[in-house]
Amino acid sequence: MRLTRYTDYAMRVLLYLGARPERLCSIAEIARAYDVSQNHLMKVVNDLVRAGYVASVRGRLGGIRLARDPGLVNVGQVVRHTEVDFDLVECGTCVIAPACGLTGVLREALEAFLQVLDRYTLADLLARRQDLADLFLRDPPRAGGS
């Protein structure tokens, strides 16, 4: 299974904000830290704000921060929120779908995948918070902003 870039960026934003709980952060700052597209991050952050994962403060001194305690941000829920399609294969038009056992096996595998993610919170991923924060201080490699 491969998660979308959208989910990857959503988790990156949450990790960045979780590593910097003491202050407001900007989307531009996060984009620079990861060397990713600021425009793409804006869409992701707006969605995370609407979903209640991130809080936005407007104004000259504004920015974004986590809206919840990291221990209340479930990784499986974030992935379910950001992924639009969990179909591992398209079985709807396949001629053998009514008798094929692969569909059930893939559904079971997906459920197991999500159950593992459900066991973790953002706080678990931030166990080495200071190490993460220190890494964000380093200059990111310039690869063209993926």
Q: What is the pLDDT of residues 44-94, one digit of tens each?
A: 999 999 999 999 999 888 999 999 999 999 999 999 999 988 877 778 788
In a domain, 145, yes or no: no
In a domain, 51, yes or no: yes
pTM, entire model: 0.87
Give the residue numbers spanning the domain of 123.
5-137
In a domain, 143, yes or no: no
Domains contained in the chain, number: 1
In a domain, 48, yes or no: yes
In a domain, 68, yes or no: yes
In a domain, 91, yes or no: yes
Mean of pLDDT over the chain? 91
CATH number at residue 48: 1.10.10.10
Q: What is the pLDDT of residues 125-135, one digit of tens each?
A: 999 988 888 88
In a domain, 10, yes or no: yes
In a domain, 40, yes or no: yes
Q: In the chain, what are the helix, strand and coil shares in percent, each to the nearest 5?
A: 55, 10, 40
Report the alpha-carbon distance of residue 51 to residue 25 in Å, rounded.
18
| Residue 142: predicted pLDDT | 52
